[in-house]
A and B are shown apart, each in its own frame.
Chain A
């Protein structure tokens, strides 16, 4: 199947991330993508708007959040924060209780139809508790990316 991998780099990954709320994490990660030239200001506005309306916190084995949008994105990428302390995200399933996200995966997607395989592969990660745990314990962004690359192969472009 033809697919387009997601660009990733150590500069887009933060370990031991400290933030007091979801907006702060999203701004931080989107800002890194902005610096790389993957997105423009519209992306940040839209991803925050979307998170407000349709929150992306998931109560998986290790709680995560997956903010994503395609507006204002010119290159598909993946950014990530492993939190020093969990940060509250609204729950995607509509539960009142916020999700205390330990990992935040942020995606910029240019063309969902070409990225089905990549997104599907990513979704399988969210079911792997040991792997997610390992992400939360990674010493630095390089180590975290190496672990990701082992699982995702060509689906991420370093």
Chain B
């Protein structure tokens, strides 16, 4: 079991959508009482990020993380379109990752 989850949020410029989505994920995880650390990045940095348990991108990307962290597309948290479904998927994924040793 992991005690805390380390999530990287990335968008094209690392500004607007990242800021908003980071904030929303923080709110979701606080509500669920899941200990977490969130850090903003740019999508171009995604392949070389190390130490992340999960990466949430807010824009199109086919980027894979070389260290093997799964990549999810979190744009729904920005636009609100499909946000509920995405939140469910996100929490499932986080619980799955945290259950690993």
Q: Which A residues lie at the B interface, using CB under 8 A?
A: 50, 53-54, 56, 58-60, 66, 68-70, 91-95, 107, 109, 112, 115-116, 119-120, 123-124, 126-127
Question: Cβ of B65 < 8 Å from any Cβ of A?
Answer: no
Question: Cβ of B19 < 8 Å from any Cβ of A?
Answer: yes
- Is B19 within 8 A of A112, CB to CB? yes
CB distance from A63 to the nearest CB of B (A): 11
- Is B15 within 8 A of A60, CB to CB? no
Known: A92-B58, A92-B60, A120-B23. A54 touches B11 (CB 8 A): yes
Give me 28 A-to-B residue pairs in the complex whose CB atoms sit less than 8 angstroms apart, sorted by A's number.
A50-B12, A50-B13, A54-B13, A54-B43, A54-B59, A54-B60, A58-B78, A59-B81, A60-B79, A60-B81, A69-B13, A70-B13, A70-B15, A91-B60, A92-B75, A94-B59, A107-B16, A109-B15, A109-B16, A112-B14, A112-B15, A112-B16, A112-B19, A116-B20, A119-B16, A123-B20, A124-B80, A127-B81
Q: How large is the interface on B (under 10, 10 to 19, 20 to 34, 35 or more residues)?
A: 20 to 34
- Is A94 within 8 A of B20, CB to CB? no
- Is A93 within 8 A of B59, CB to CB? yes
Which one of B23, B58, B60 has the greatest number of beta carbons of chain A within 10 Å?
B60
Question: Which chain B residues numbered 47 to 69 have a C-beta less than 8 Å away from chain A?
Answer: 58-61
Query: Which of A53, A58, A120 has a CB less than 8 Å from the CB of B12?
Result: A53
Q: Which residues of the other chain, B, contact A54 by a CB distance below 8 angstroms?
A: 11-13, 43, 59-60
Q: Which residues of the other chain, A, contact B80 by a CB distance below 8 angstroms?
A: 60, 124, 126-127
